[in-house]
Amino acid sequence: MFNSQIKKANAAAAAAAASAAAKANRQFLTFLLGREVFALDILVIREIIQFGEISTVPMMPDYIRGIINLRGAVVPVVDLHVRFGHEAAAVGKRTCIVIIELTHQGSVLELGIMVDAVSAVIDIEAGQIEPAPRFGSRVRNDFIAGMGKVEDQFVIILDVAKTFTADELDALDTAMGT
């Protein structure tokens, strides 16, 4: 009986240590929007695809650039420039679409995010992530999960779950027929 309690305690301690280690370092995909470096938690990213043919859809919000066919699935593509209150992004040679997965009302919603260029996957220690600034960013504060310190610069870490309201996700979910 005593041995089984020790085994359970050891297993719990090992699980807690693994959880703490996982939280200590997190991986992020960095990308450019204009001259600013942004990051998304790698756990929400499904894939990165080359920018290609996008079909426009009438009556969609301005920040929805259109839709793509991703292996038979209809995926809306968001222009983050417009979502952040700027002019529509110009398409360049390095423009990509980052496919992310958001959970909304129990279902998974795939969404494409148009970025100017993908940079790299980086590790950021939890201690190197500062809270979102209250001023000075060209992005709404509630869209920012934090500011990651990487070498001599800050990386804006986006909170994709807060970048879209529940009503906006409902509208996308309905429009895409999921």
Q: What is the pLDDT of residues 46-75, one digit of tens each?
A: 999 999 999 998 888 889 999 999 999 999
The rounded radius of gyration (Å) of the Cα atoms in the chain is 19
Spell out the domain ranges in the chain: 25-175
Q: What is the 3-state secondary structure (H, E, C) of 130-146?
A: ECCCCCCCCCCHHHEEE
For domain 25-175, give the CATH superfamily: CheA-289, Domain 4 (2.40.50.180)
pTM given for the model: 0.78
Percent of the chain with pLDDT over 70: 75
Q: Where are the alpha helices (DSSP H) in 29-134?
A: 80-83
What's the pLDDT band for 123 if we cut at 50, 70, 90? very high
pLDDT in tens, 126-138: 999 988 777 655 5
Pick from 51, 152, 172: which is nearest to 110 by CA? Answer: 172
